[in-house]
Amino acid sequence: MTEHGGPRERGSLPTAGRPPSPFDEWDADVDESRRSGHVESHYAAAGRTHQPLRAQWDPTTRADGKTRPQRPERRTKKQSRVGRFVTTYGWRAYAIPFLAILTVVVGYDAIRNVTDSVEGLDDPGFGILSTNTKGSATIGAPPPGSGKFAANIPTGALPDGGPFTEAGAGTWHIVLGGTNQVGAGQEHVFTYTVEVEDGTDTSSFGGDESFARMVDLTLANPKSWTKDPRFAFRRIDQGQPDFRVSLTTQMTTRQACGYDIPLDTSCYNQGMGRVVLNEARWVRGAIAFDGDIGSYRQYQINHEVGHAIGYEQHQPCDVDGGLAPIMMQQSFGTANNDIATLDPEGVVPMDGKVCRFNPWPYPRG
């Protein structure tokens, strides 16, 4: 319908009341083409396509005869890759490189500290090796109570703990069994027996066999004395050994090792040919030794066997904060001042150095 109520021809626009438009003729041509079925040919003849007046369907085509308008000048610079990264990740863009640098610095410091520790803490030494292992002296006992030495030191006291046998029969029985040779033995293959004093109750720590196994495994360990190719060990249960590793009660140990200064100790008694391991210490350990009881027992064996193979002299803490030498009297202290207080005329200086406990001659294997 037209504005005035009359019918209007399909496809045409009302023209009454408005000025003529240049599109009126175009619309009339289109209506005529629709009626005749030649719309497409009409568009083609006119050189036009089915596209909007201003936006093309295919933006890559360019109409002939038209000049593309000049693009306005950018007022902002194009973002770099770094700028896009910062825009995308925000604060993380700053945190990631910072954490990467921090990781490198911490890693370098850790590697440097490990290197310094390896270079500065070699295996502790052992002093002079004596070739006289057949004398009659008692080696490893505390100094005699002559009035020139401290009567006692707190770190040398026997700690509280499990029960032990105070006194035995003063005789020993051999624990049966033997081992193959361990170590190169270029200069000496030491034979030994494992013995337990008669009357000693070993049930609280596994019995005689358990004690013997601990001795064997300790001496066969690569951290023990066979790291030195000069030495080797072989356990026997018949014949005459080079020394006897003997678990001994507290009172018998005091007779064999001395007790002028009231400290429970172990020793190597050359005259008896015995490595005397004090059962009271075997059960309870030592206050000064901060390790577990198993480590202390390994220390007991290695220290006293060290005397038996020729390392007679005790040693001080050499590197402050380092591992204690195996021949240091760790049952009495791992600080030089404690040992020097006990024996001011001994080999340990009053220099303030403090070591960490160590049960092995070669702790780094």
pLDDT tens, per residue, the chain with 365 residues = 444 444 544 444 455 555 555 555 545 554 554 555 554 444 444 445 555 555 555 555 555 555 666 665 656 566 677 667 667 666 655 666 666 676 544 454 544 444 334 444 577 877 888 766 666 677 877 666 555 666 667 888 899 999 999 999 999 999 999 999 999 999 999 999 999 999 999 999 999 999 999 999 999 999 999 999 999 999 999 999 999 999 999 999 999 998 888 889 999 999 999 999 999 999 999 998 988 999 999 999 999 999 999 999 999 999 999 999 999 999 999 999 999 988 888 889 999 999 999 999 999 87
Per the CB < 8 A criterion, the answer to whether 338 and 153 are in contact is yes
pLDDT of residue 254: 95
Amino acid found at 356: R
Fold classification of 138-342 (topology level): Collagenase (Catalytic Domain) (3.40.390)
The pLDDT tens digits of the residues spanning 171-190 come to 999 999 999 999 999 999 99
Distance between CA 332 and CA 153 in Å, rounded? Answer: 8
Per the CB < 8 A criterion, the answer to whether 206 and 290 are in contact is no
pLDDT of residue 178: 96
pLDDT of residue 12: 47
Distance between CA 158 and CA 287 in Å, rounded? Answer: 7
Cβ neighbors of 334 (< 8 A, separation 6 or more) are: 288, 289, 290, 317, 324, 328, 354, 355, 356, 357
pLDDT of residue 43: 46
Distance between CA 339 and CA 150 in Å, rounded? Answer: 10
Per the CB < 8 A criterion, the answer to whether 243 and 274 are in contact is yes
Question: Which pTM does this prediction carry?
Answer: 0.67
pLDDT of residue 112: 45
The pLDDT tens digits of the residues spanning 333-349 come to 999 999 998 888 888 99
Cβ atoms within 10 A of the Cβ of 217, count?
A: 13
Cβ neighbors of 179 (< 8 A, separation 6 or more) are: 216, 220, 233, 234, 235
pLDDT of residue 225: 97
pLDDT of residue 249: 97
